[in-house]
Copies of this chain bind each other. A is one copy, B any other.
């Protein structure tokens, strides 16, 4: 609070913000009527409403949603915790979520875990302190601490939605796809095309690992040698994939692989670049499949075969789940599990 004005005329206070009360006085009504005129205009007589609207406009009144949230125990806020925003792969999900929620008057609070456990917990605490009505996670929490916080929040009525995966033991609702099945599908395609020396390039987060396990699983089932796995640091960067390709030239080398599944299109693009620079032909010498169907997959040369994930729809679905579940007594709400599937988009690279 600013008491400076009582103390010294040398330190003026910023003009205190206009409140509902100011509008009410201006319009000659009570605060509650102004509140109603703003939130449920139909319940206020037209002339009264007009007077109030005039007062609002002339004062430039912007309702304090923080106060409203406290009073109503509805923050109209949804938190989203992503590993990182710089990786454009989650951008579409954020986009879909934002688009679906902002028209309902919700705001998005964004936090990043940076793929780090400690940061995830801290970010989650910050998020939950804002009392969001929903929390959208990309993936499942990395730590038990985070899981417990989410479960507690859910017990208090917060909607929890995990995305980009279909975890065995979800916290609340889930909207994602089967990362293991993705790996299966890619391995099956490589095998059908007659590739022998498979490799997988990606991070070591749960989702990338699931893709690898599915990949290795199907490779084994089809009698292939175990795929080489190259682990790259998170978040996915082309530079890491390029470095990995350029690195070793021993038996563990990527350049010996004749088919590479990259856990993200970003990695795939790095590998494509490195392979071409090495004079390898893609897909003749090395077939390449990515994941995400980023725009560049369509326009690279050769264009990139990739697993399309509908990130925007995932965000929209998460938003719908939250809007449905919010304010509903917990006893008649059952968490949902939505499998959005994936699609192997076959282009030139494999």
Contact = CB atoms under 8 A, between A and B. Distances in A.
A295 interface: yes
Interface in A168-188: none
Interface in A32-82: 60, 62-67, 69-70, 73, 75
Interface in A107-130: 107-112, 122-123, 125-130
B295 A12 contact: no
Nearest to A270: B299
A238 B296 contact: yes
A19 to B, nearest CB: 12
Interface of A is mostly: helix
A11 B329 contact: yes
Interface in A186-216: none
Given A14-B330, A85-B85, A98 B112 contact: yes
Interface stretch (A20-28, A150-158, A225-233, A249-257): A150-158
A223 interface: no
Contacts of A238: 295-296, 298-299
B110 A98 contact: yes
Given A60-B152, A273-B299, 4 more contacts: A12-B330, A66-B130, A67-B70, A84-B95
A94 B110 contact: yes
A343 to B, nearest CB: 18
* The 6 A-B residue pairs with the shortest CB-CB distance in the complex, in nearest-first order: A65-B129, A273-B299, A88-B88, A14-B157, A110-B110, A86-B95
Nearest to A154: B14
A102 interface: yes
A320 interface: no
A58 B242 CA distance: 48
Contact of A17 (B17, B67, B156, B329): B156
A119 to B, nearest CB: 8
| Centre residue among A12, A66, A128, A296 by max chain B CB count within 10 A | A66
A334 interface: no
Contacts of A266: 295
A276 interface: yes
Nearest to A311: B86
B107 A108 contact: no
A97 B269 CA distance: 27
A295 B130 contact: no
A209 B95 CA distance: 25
A273 B299 CA distance: 6
Contacts of A63: 129
Contacts of A301: 273, 276-277, 301
B295 A239 contact: yes
A234 interface: no
